[in-house]
Structure 1
Amino acid sequence: MAEILIVDNDIEARKELCQLIRESKYSYLTTYEASTAQRGLLLLKQNQPSVLIIDLSLPEMNGMNFGRAALELYPNLPIIIVTQLKMFDLAQEAINSGFSSYLLKPLTKNELIHTFDRVLPKGISKEVTQSMNPVNRLDSNDLKNPIESAIQFIQSNYGEPLSLKGISDQVYLSPSYFSKLFKEETGMTFVEYMSFVRVQKAKGMLRLSALPIDIIAHNTGFSNQSYFSTTFKKIVGKTPSEYRDQFHWEYHKEVKV
C-alpha cells in the first residue's frame, strides 16, 4: 500500500503536514507518524513507505543520520528533509547523502505537491488500487532472513487470507519454530502481529476514506465486520465508528480554528 512516513517531534508541524496531504491530490496516501527516531526506525523496518519525510532535529538521532539509516534499509527510498534551518551546508549535506529534497518550514501545499510529483514513483495511484490483490508469494532471495521476509509479506498481503502454516511453509520453517522465532523477533505472536497490521491499515482507511466499515473490514483481511470491530476496539480502545467520528470531529475543529 502506498504510504507516507513522517518523523518529526513537533506535533503541530506533523498536523499541518498531514492536513496539506489530505487537501492535496495525494490524499489517497496513507500517512503514519513518529515523534522519535526509535519509533520511526521501527515503522521503517516493518514496512517500506513510498516516501519518508523527516525533520533534522529529532530526539536520539539527528535527521541526517536517520535518513542515512533509512537508505541503508531501502536504497531507493525518496527522502524529504523538512526543517527551519536555512543553511547551505545542511542542504548540500542532504543532497550528498542521496536525499531527494530539502524543504523549509512552513511548507505550502504547492511546494509539497511539486515535490511529491518529482520524487514519488510514477503510477503510484495504480499501485494503490492493485494493493488489494497482491501476488501471494515470497521472494526466495530473502529467505536468509525468514522473519523479516514474513513481515514484509504480511505488510503487502494483509488483505488476503493468511495463516501461520501457510507463511511458515513459504520460508521453509516448521510452524512451531517459525512461531517461536517470530515472537522472539517482533515481541508479538503471529496472530497478534497480523491483527496489529490489519488494524493499522484500517485506521488509515477510516481516516482518509468514506468506505463503509464492512468494506474496510473485508479489505483489511478480517473475516467479518463483527470480528473486525472486536479486534479494533481491543487494540485502539474505540470501535471503528467511534474512531472515525472522533477523527473527523478533530479535523473539522482544526479547520474551523
Structure 2
Amino acid sequence: MSGLLIIDDEVETRQEIRLMIEESSYNYFSVCEAGSAERGLMLLKQNQPGIVILDLSLPDMDGIQLGKKALELNPQVSIIVLTHLKMFDLVQACMNAGFSRYYLKPLSKVDLLSALDKLLIPDLVKETSYLRKVSSSNDFEVDLGNPIESATGYIHSHFHEPITLNEVADRVYLSASHFSRLFKAEMGVTFIEYLTRYRLEQSKKLLKMTSLPIEVIANNTGFANASYFATTFKRLEGKTPKEYRSLFSNLLHTSASGEK
C-alpha cells in the first residue's frame, strides 16, 4: 500500500500535498497526480495505488462517481475526499460510498499525516499473512467481452509464476499482436510494464512485513533472480529493496514507540 494517487484539477493543491508527503516519514510513497477523472482512472488501472486523495469537483466527472469506480477497480483502496463544499449531504454520500476520510480544503499537514497513520498501519498488519493468501489455484475463467480484465485477473493470481505475453494472449483467445495492442490501449502501459509493476508492488508488501531474504522475495514474486529484482526495484522505486525495507522498519518502530 505504498502508492498514492492525487486526483485534483488544482495544480497548487496537488503540489502542496506532494510536498507534505515528501517532507514526512511517508516520503517513501510513490506519488502520482491526475488533473482529471479520465487521467485518474488510467493511473488507477496502471499503478493500483493504496490511497487516493480525491477532489469532488472535477471537470469531467463527479468526484463521488469516480470514487465508486476506484472502489470497483480495487475494493481495498482507501479514498480521502477533499472539497470546498461544506454540505452534510455530501459527507453522507461519501460515507455511504465507502470512502475513508472527508476534509475541507485546504488540507492541513496535520490532517493528512493523521489520515495516513490511521489508514496505513492497520493495513501493514493485515499484510503479515500475505504469503498464505497468494493464490495457487489454476482456476481461470475468461470473460470474452472483457479480455484485458481477464488478463489482469490472471496476472494477479499467477504473478509469482513465469508468465509470457503469448501465454496470456492464448488464454483470452487473442493473437499476441492484437492482445499487445489492446492491452496498451486499455491500460496505458505495455503488458510487460504492467506485469513488472504488479510484481514489484507485491514484493513491497513482503519487504514491509516480513524478514524474508531478498532472494526469497524475488523468487516468490516472479522475478528471474535476486540481481534482476534489485536492479528493477532500484530503477522504478529509486532505492534498493534493502533501503525500502529499512524505511518501513523505522516507521513501525516509531509507531510502536508512540503507543507505549
Of 4, 11, 18, 2:18 maps to: 11
Report how many residues are paired: 234
- The answer for the alignment partner of 2:98 in structure 1 is 99
Residue 151 in 1 paired to residue 149 in 2?
A: no
Deviation at 1:221, TM superposition (A): 0.7
After superposition, the Cα gap between the structure-2 partners of 1:199 and 1:171, relative to the gap in structure 1 and judged at 3 Å, is same
1:78-122 Cα distance to aligned partner (Å, 9 max, x none): 7654448654132133246x33555457279799869x99xx9xx
Deviation at 1:77, TM superposition (A): 6.6
Q: In the aligned structure 2, how far is the partner of 1:42 from the partner of 1:112? A: 27
Q: In the aligned structure 2, how far is the partner of 1:171 from the partner of 1:60? A: 36
Residue 89 in 1 paired to residue 96 in 2?
A: no
Q: In the aligned structure 1, how far is the partner of 2:75 from the partner of 2:201? A: 24
Deviation at 1:217, TM superposition (A): 0.6
Alpha-carbon contact 1:217-1:225 (below 8 Å) kept:
yes
TM-score of the two chains, using structure 2 as the length reference: 0.62
- The answer for the alignment partner of 2:168 in structure 1 is 167
Instruction: State the superposition RMSD in angstroms.
Output: 4.7
After superposition, the Cα gap between the structure-2 partners of 1:80 and 1:236, relative to the gap in structure 1 and judged at 3 Å, is closer
1:42-79 Cα distance to aligned partner (Å, 9 max, x none): 34334877x765444677666424214335x4596776
Give structure 2 stretches of 5+ with no counterpart: 7-13, 256-260
Q: Percent identity over the alignment?
A: 38
Q: In the aligned structure 2, how far is the partner of 1:239 from the partner of 1:94? A: 38
| Letter in structure 1 aligned against 2:90 | L
Correspondences of 1:36-51 after superposition (within 5 Å): 36=34, 37=37, 40-46=40-46
Alpha-carbon contact 1:131-1:156 (below 8 Å) kept:
no
Moved more, 169-178 or 82-91: 82-91
Alpha-carbon contact 2:46-2:187 (below 8 Å) kept:
no
Q: In the aligned structure 2, how far is the partner of 1:152 from the partner of 1:43? A: 17
Alpha-carbon contact 1:46-1:151 (below 8 Å) kept:
no
Deviation at 1:18, TM superposition (A): 8.5
Q: In the aligned structure 2, how far is the partner of 1:58 from the partner of 1:216? A: 41
Residue 235 in 1 paired to residue 242 in 2?
A: no
- The answer for the alignment partner of 1:138 in structure 2 is 140
| Letter in structure 1 aligned against 2:18 | I
Q: In the aligned structure 1, how far is the partner of 2:116 from the partner of 2:241? A: 34
Q: In the aligned structure 2, how far is the partner of 1:180 from the partner of 1:53? A: 28
Q: In the aligned structure 1, how far is the partner of 2:128 from the partner of 2:210? A: 17
